[in-house]
Structure 1
Amino acid sequence: MSGLLDLVREDLRDFTGYKSARSESLQGGVWLNANESAWANPADAKATSRRYPDPQPAALRSALAGLYGCEESQLLIGRGSDEAIDLLVRALCNPGRDAVIVTPPVFGMYAVCARLQDAPVIEVPLRDGADGFVADLDAVAAMAVESNAKLVFLCSPSNPAGSAIPLAEIERLAERIEGKALLVVDEAYGEFSDLPSATTLQARQPNIAVLRTLSKAHALAAARIGVVIADAALIEVLRRCQAPYPVPTPCAELALAGLSPEALAETEKRVALIRSERARLQAALAGLPEVRHVYPSQGNYVLARFRDAESAFRSLLAAGVVVRDQRAAPQLGDALRITVGSPEQNDRVISALRRIEAAA
């Protein structure tokens, strides 16, 4: 897909990266090629950590490809979505020249990675309307062309706004910027959404890359397992830019166990419960006098505006409940983001906020 690879930095198109000991297909019974210890650490009960890990664990890669409905060649495993974001920016953006487009209020790592690469950050703010926060994709397309952007990041469902972007709109945007920029759709909260994945568009629009993670719905945040799904040629470029051993063996083993049929069945039940609890929490918040507005959400969180966000934040803290203060984010000077917890945890949120009214 030469047109897509034209988006890669010129100096990295033939970059071979670091060839680690584990990248060579060699067989043997005595491994003395990586300067590893001949003995396991006394604390290593499974005696597996003295060896460097497989850079892309085969069993895990296969399981993730099955989970997300893509070919293994289209998928790169990394340290959460954060590493995928960083790799995309570094591989595509020439410092000081190639811009990155973001749609605030949105996940902050897109801009952080861009600034670390000295890539100009172009903001096209979400529009706050009757249907909640929505992306102005016409403005995004126009700005991508005008600013010579190499990357356009869309978060769907959007964090913290909660809104999701219909696939038809994503496809139209990808068509408009084809040959000019890569459209990256961050689906960290995709399991909680009513909409299908943008991976279903990639056969027609190879300039779409999709980010997924096991941190949210699969409850494996500490394992730091995320993936980027894209055209196989682009995945190969990103792999050459990646650190030699990005997936620790204990994390890969935990992730693989977490993708067993039994674990996936339990995850599906929990996702259904969170979606049900999300609706209950939204309804309860909407009925509180202290809440000015509750936004629709396709994620595992609820964004709400408060008459006195400081009072609400402190009341929740006094009840032992920590939520995300969004008041420093653009357009969100009176807003808090509340993760949807267990029914008991959500009850504590509601009770704490009701106490504000009682104390007034």
Structure 2
Amino acid sequence: MDPGSLLGLVREDLRGFGGYASARTTDLRGEVWLNANESPWPNPADATGSSRRYPEPQPPALRQALARLYGCDPAQVLVGRGSDEAIDLLVRALCAPGRDAIVVTPPVFGMYAVSGRLQGAPLLEVPLVDGPDGFAVDLDAVATAAGHGGAKLVFLCSPSNPTGGSVPLEGIAALAARLAGQALVVVDEAYGEFSDQPSATGLMAANANIAVLRTLSKAHALAAARIGVLIADPVLVRVLRACQAPYPVPTPCAELALEGLAGEALARTAARVAEVRRERVRLQDGLAALPGVLRVYPSDGNYLLVRFADADAAFARLLAAGVVVRDQRAAPRLSDALRISIGTPEQNDRVLAALDAKEAVA
């Protein structure tokens, strides 16, 4: 697919849209800055004084650091307020209300459907297939639904939240090829650091209609900083930037992210990811051995989806032990399931003890 043809997926009225020209849009140089109606003095609580100025819309140093982290060009990087903002921007920029649909694969992360509903984009659901190896995406059904339903966006969560399975790269590439010129395939890799599978960014050179979502919220432990990343063809990045709010990345958050992506911090993050992966195996085995557990799904993320004979009792016992997990019982086909994040070894021991019937009796 020719990258230029990506513009054909964008709403007609936004293809030449320039967006809001903020005081930081133009690259100006000077010593006295009087162009943004900012305070000439810092807030008394601002020790560095940096917060009195509006931030760079896309901080160059952060974009470069993220491009190094994800092995792409800075021109392919859009930084925003978590992956949620990128999802919302994609739906607003590509989907004309009431006409252009999105495809999702439930049970899955709910923000795709929320963003679609807010935009008036028809929702096409292709349920995951629950098989002996866990939940999997029916990619043929996804392609058919997208083609017949007039979809502009296909969201693939890989590893999928809450089910934990990854979508094979060869399947993603084949789907993108089938939908070239029709839809953008968005691969949400929020939990990619915990998986053995390489990133779908490696498919983008041959498939311009693939975009990848990443975040610093999970493996990098910066959830409160709200640093989300969209990696896409520069043509699409420019369109989305025009649709984005003027100053999406607060300076303190950008500075914290840069510190978190420095060498020593990255090394410690890698060690912690390795520990989570080890604990994931241990917790999966421990849960599977408990009498009230019906099934523990294999996971490439930092969580496990677990079915219980009595999910209500399991949830209550965990809460009584001070452990809060994610209740999945309202999700389609998960009426007996809880999602349990992988904690420290001590926290995981606490989970197992709370659910162990022998411990409860004692």
Shift of 1:356: 7.0
Q: What is the rounded CA distance, in whole Å, between the counterparts of 2:80 and 2:230 in structure 1?
A: 8
2:59 is equivalent to residue 31 of structure 1: no
Shift of 1:125: 0.3
The alignment covers a number of residue pairs equal to 360
2:250 is equivalent to residue 248 of structure 1: yes
Shift of 1:4: 1.2
Residue 107 of structure 1 is matched in structure 2 by 109
Q: What is the rounded CA distance, in whole Å, between the counterparts of 1:181 and 1:356 in structure 2?
A: 53
Residue 263 of structure 1 is matched in structure 2 by 265
Residue 189 of structure 1 is matched in structure 2 by 191
Q: What is the rounded CA distance, in whole Å, between the counterparts of 1:123 and 1:41 in structure 2?
A: 49
Deviations 1:170-201 (A, max 9, x none): 10111111110000000000000010000000
Whether contact under 8 Å (1:199, 1:210) holds in the other structure is: yes
Match of 1:175 among 174, 177, 201: 177
Q: What is the rounded CA distance, in whole Å, between the counterparts of 1:124 and 1:8 in structure 2?
A: 23
Residue type at the aligned position of 2:333: Q
Match of 2:143 among 141, 144, 151: 141
Q: What is the rounded CA distance, in whole Å, between the counterparts of 1:148 and 1:121 in structure 2?
A: 10
Alignment of 1:144-223 (within 5 A): 144-223=146-225
Unpaired runs of at least 5, structure 2: none
Normalising by structure 2, report the TM-score: 0.98
Q: What is the rounded CA distance, in whole Å, between the counterparts of 2:30 and 2:196 in structure 1?
A: 49
Q: What is the rounded CA distance, in whole Å, between the counterparts of 1:68 and 1:277 in structure 2?
A: 25
Deviations 1:208-265 (A, max 9, x none): 0000000000000000001100000000000000000000000000000000000000
Q: What is the rounded CA distance, in whole Å, between the counterparts of 1:190 and 1:330 in structure 2?
A: 24
Q: What is the rounded CA distance, in whole Å, between the counterparts of 1:38 and 1:4 in structure 2?
A: 43
Residue 338 of structure 1 is matched in structure 2 by 340
- Pairwise CA RMSD: 0.9
Residue 14 of structure 2 is matched in structure 1 by 12
Residue type at the aligned position of 1:280: R
Q: What is the rounded CA distance, in whole Å, between the counterparts of 1:58 and 1:12 in structure 2?
A: 25
Deviations 1:10-34 (A, max 9, x none): 0000000000001111111100000
Normalising by structure 1, report the TM-score: 0.99
SS of 2:155's equivalent in the other structure is: strand
Residue 121 of structure 1 is matched in structure 2 by 123
Shift of 1:2: 2.4
Residue 46 of structure 2 is matched in structure 1 by 44
Shift of 1:355: 3.9
SS of 2:339's equivalent in the other structure is: strand
Whether contact under 8 Å (1:189, 1:217) holds in the other structure is: yes
SS of 2:356's equivalent in the other structure is: helix
Percent of counterpart pairs with the same letter? 71
2:98 is equivalent to residue 69 of structure 1: no
Q: What is the rounded CA distance, in whole Å, between the counterparts of 1:200 and 1:3 in structure 2?
A: 20
Q: What is the rounded CA distance, in whole Å, between the counterparts of 1:120 and 1:156 in structure 2?
A: 23
Whether contact under 8 Å (1:213, 1:227) holds in the other structure is: yes
Shift of 1:5: 1.0
2:284 is equivalent to residue 278 of structure 1: no
Deviations 1:319-343 (A, max 9, x none): 0000000000001000000000000
Q: What is the rounded CA distance, in whole Å, between the counterparts of 2:125 and 2:64 in structure 1?
A: 37
Residue 239 of structure 2 is matched in structure 1 by 237
Whether contact under 8 Å (1:312, 1:356) holds in the other structure is: no
Q: What is the rounded CA distance, in whole Å, between the counterparts of 2:251 and 2:18 in structure 1?
A: 24
Shift of 1:279: 0.2
SS of 2:171's equivalent in the other structure is: helix
Residue 307 of structure 1 is matched in structure 2 by 309
Residue 55 of structure 1 is matched in structure 2 by 57
2:290 is equivalent to residue 288 of structure 1: yes
Q: What is the rounded CA distance, in whole Å, between the counterparts of 1:59 and 1:232 in structure 2?
A: 18
Whether contact under 8 Å (1:315, 1:356) holds in the other structure is: no
SS of 1:33's equivalent in the other structure is: coil
Whether contact under 8 Å (1:93, 1:117) holds in the other structure is: yes
Q: What is the rounded CA distance, in whole Å, between the counterparts of 2:240 and 2:18 in structure 1?
A: 11
Q: What is the rounded CA distance, in whole Å, between the counterparts of 2:211 and 2:177 in structure 1?
A: 13
- Ranges of 4+ aligned residues in structure 1 off by more than 6 Å: none
SS of 2:248's equivalent in the other structure is: coil
Residue type at the aligned position of 1:54: E
Shift of 1:307: 0.2
Shift of 1:358: 4.1
SS of 1:6's equivalent in the other structure is: helix
Whether contact under 8 Å (1:124, 1:140) holds in the other structure is: yes
Q: What is the rounded CA distance, in whole Å, between the counterparts of 1:239 and 1:356 in structure 2?
A: 56
Residue type at the aligned position of 2:246: P
Q: What is the rounded CA distance, in whole Å, between the counterparts of 2:166 and 2:266 in structure 1?
A: 24
